[in-house]
Amino acid sequence: MQNGSLRVIPLGGMGGIGKNCNVIETDDDILIVDVGIQFPSEEMLGVDVVIPDFQYLEERRDKIRGIVITHGHEDHIGGLPYLLERVSAPIYAPPLALGLIERKLNAATLKNTSLRTITDGQGIVLGPFNITPFHVNHSIPDSLGLAIRTPAGLIVHSGDFKIDHTPLEGRPSDMSAMARLSNEGVVLLMSDSTNSESPGYTPSESQLRDVFDQVFSRAKGRIIVATFASLLSRVQLVIETAAKYGRKIAVAGRSMEQNVETAEKLGYIRFPADTRAQISQINNLPDDQVVIMATGSQGEPNSALARMAAGRFRYAKIREGDTVILSATAIPGNETAIFRNIDNLFRRGAQVVYGRQAGLHVSGHAAQEELKMMLNLLRPTYFIPLHGAYRMLHQHARLAHEMGMPQENIFVMDNGDVLELTPEGARLGEPVPAEGILVDGSLVGDVGRSLLRDRMSLAQDGIVVVKVTINEQTGTILHQPEIISHGFVYVPEAQELLEAGQEAISGVIESYQGNGAGYEPEQVSMLIERRLGNFFYNETRRRPVVVAVVSTQ
């Protein structure tokens, strides 16, 4: 690379929501910003999480000077355990994120990894990168944007942010720090696009104070609040409202318990005296003194709320008189599960407060006017809309263009695209591998298109396994063929069909004359698989996978 040149590579976070991971690279040094995971979409059958492709980093492991984390959400920290199995690098994160990261890493990784706290205003130096974090508002306390001074100039990474003039957790996003950066001259802005489809401003978190107050003031029985486990300022708001109405707060659901524990230990959540209850104790309290903070706002079938709604949660089953507050938006793809859960809550007689109209949730991401504010404050030469599905990146780019930024200075990138910043300008280089890597169970990366296609066809019409034994010389069937069906037809009702299938197999073998040199089991099974597949399709209009196991004797 040329002197004063730089490569900026989003390894994740583009074209889909999640697994944020950005690489900033000079000739000899690499800085990584965030290492997140993404939750699988519906067609990723059996997949647990999606992580960025770390191959590019692994091949350049010696160049890595450090990993800087902007905040403690899964889509920014969840990939660390996977990356740290393959490269080692110090992690720099704000205290709360660091607390959450510590819980994730296993003992061996923890021992080998240096974890260091960063705070806004305090610069750190990593090789040629001089990084000064600045405070931003988001839906978890302790969120940072980053001013990254590089050989190619000042890069600003917005982190996940909104501009909240009355946040619950203290200070508004640090506009004056941004203004100072602007004076210095920003060569590149990389900015959060998650909410770029929403016009106007994202409402302040404190707007929820009144709404929660109203709902609490009217509730006669227990109150159950479901929200994201990581939405810690929301948790604090619920605690304060509960305290005002003389209620105690119990926490239900593992991720919520862990996050609250970590946040409380680090001082990001405070329970007023005598307001904390254990979930095992709530049945000893009068209903109108109970609040349960629960996981399950996305309808996850094993979450605390879903189990309460189904009567499967040990300490609390939803019943008449309960008020359930869903304080979250639906992540696309979860709607059906969420609505099913709401139906179940109503069926059990609860009062359920949910949906946009209820006004019980605000986004943690900047809407269009805030995004413009960021662009206007920083006046960067180049711009990468970061973090979002393609349409969000596109909308964010459009905003920048409407504000007068030349189209050729705006880069709507895909994962693995490379922006080369040189003293002469910026342009896209050769992309690097960055397709999402699927994790299923303990195996990383073996689930790809072909395996998913197999799973999809099994899911649609099931499988039929056929056992046939024939005489190697004559081809005579030695035992009645056996058919084992999984997910294809309901066997007790399909005896006739399966028997006809057995006959079809016999027919296939009888009509097959061998290849002159006896009966090759492999040829016979291919033949059976094709013919039986057609037979079942004609009979049922279903296409099960057919596996024929042919033995010869």
Q: Which stretches of the chain bind its own copies, using CB under 8 A?
A: 15, 41-42, 45-46, 197-199, 330, 332-333, 335-336, 339, 342-343, 346-347, 352, 355, 357, 389-391, 394, 440-443, 446-448, 450-451, 454-456, 458-463, 465, 467, 469, 482, 484, 486-490, 493-494, 539-542, 545, 547, 549, 551, 553
| Burial of 488 per CB tally in 10 Å (0-12, 13-18, 19+) | buried
Tokens for 278?
Answer: 């254990």
- Contact status, residue 19 vs residue 79, Cβ threshold 8 Å: yes
Name the H helices within 313-366: 335-347
The residue count of the chain comes to 553
Q: Which is nearer to its own copies, 15 or 253 (CB)?
A: 15
- Closer to its own copies by CB, 232 or 367: give it: 367
Q: Return d(Cα 45, Cα 460) in angstroms, integer.
A: 12
In the complex, the smallest distance separating the C-beta of residue 299 from its own copies, rounded to whole angstroms, is 11
Residues 6+ apart with CB under 8 A from 502: 480, 481, 483
Q: Which helix (H) or strand (E) holds 80?
A: helix 80-84
Q: In the bound complex, what is the minimum distance in angstroms from residue 337's beta carbon to its own copies?
A: 9
Q: Which is nearer to its own copies, 244 or 347 (CB)?
A: 347
The C-alpha atoms of residue 168 and residue 107 are separated, in whole angstroms, by 35
- Minimum distance of its own copies from residue 7's CB (angstroms): 23
Residue 282 C-beta-side C-alpha neighbours within 13 Å: 27
Least distance (Å) from its own copies to the CB of residue 412? 9
List the catalytic residue out of 192, 322, 440, 461: 192
Say how far apart CA 7 and CA 27 lie, in whole Å.
9
Q: What is the CA radius of gyration of the chain?
A: 29
The per-residue b/e assignment along 337-360, b for 16 or more CB within 10 angstroms, e otherwise, is bbeebbebbeebebbbbbeeeebb
- The CA distance from 197 to 392, in Å, is 6
Q: Please, which residues bridge with residue 438 across strands?
A: 50, 447
Give min distance, CB of 100 to its own copies, in A.
23
Q: Which residues contact 181 (CB under 8 A, 6 or more apart)?
A: 134, 147, 154, 156, 378
Whole-number minimum distance, CB 344 to its own copies, in Å? 8
Question: Which CB atom, from 111 or from 356, has the smaller least distance to its own copies?
Answer: 356
Report, in Å, the least distance between residue 345 CB and its own copies.
8
- Of 90 and 462, nearer to its own copies (C-beta) is 462
- What gap in Å lies between CA 250 and CA 21, rounded to an integer? 35
**Nearer CB in complex with its own copies: 224/251:** 224
Q: Which strands, in side-by-side order, build the sheet including 49-51?
A: 49-51, 437-440, 443-447
Residue in 68, 3, 62 with CA at minimum distance from that of residue 29 = 62
Q: Per the residue annotation, which of 135, 157, 365, 387 is the catalytic one?
A: 365
Contact criterion met (CB below 8 Å) for 1 and 421: no
Spatial CB neighbours of 511, under 8 Å, sequence gap ≥ 6 = none
CB 259 within 8 A of CB 300: no
As a whole number of angstroms, the distance between CA 360 and CA 168 comes to: 15
What minimum distance in Å lies between the beta carbon of 67 and its own copies?
26
Of the pair 423, 441, the CB lying nearest its own copies is at: 441
Alpha-carbon gap, residue 105 to 116, rounded angstroms: 14
Nearer Cβ to its own copies, position 165 or 347? 347
CB of 517 to its own copies, least distance (A): 19
Closest CA to 187 of 411, 412, 15: 411
Cβ–Cβ < 8 Å for 315, 283: yes
Question: Which residue's CB is nearer to its own copies, number 150 or number 323?
Answer: 323
Nearest distance in Å: CB 317, its own copies: 18
Helix (H), strand (E) at residue 24: strand 21-25
Q: Which is nearer to its own copies, 243 or 498 (CB)?
A: 498
Alpha-carbon dihedral angle through residues 40, 385, 174, 4, given to the nearest 10 degrees: 120
Residue 365 among the catalytic residues? yes
Shortest Cβ 335–its own copies spacing (Å):
4
Task: Tell me whether residue 102 or residue 197 sits nearer to its own copies (CB atom).
Answer: 197
Which residues are catalytically annotated? 192, 365
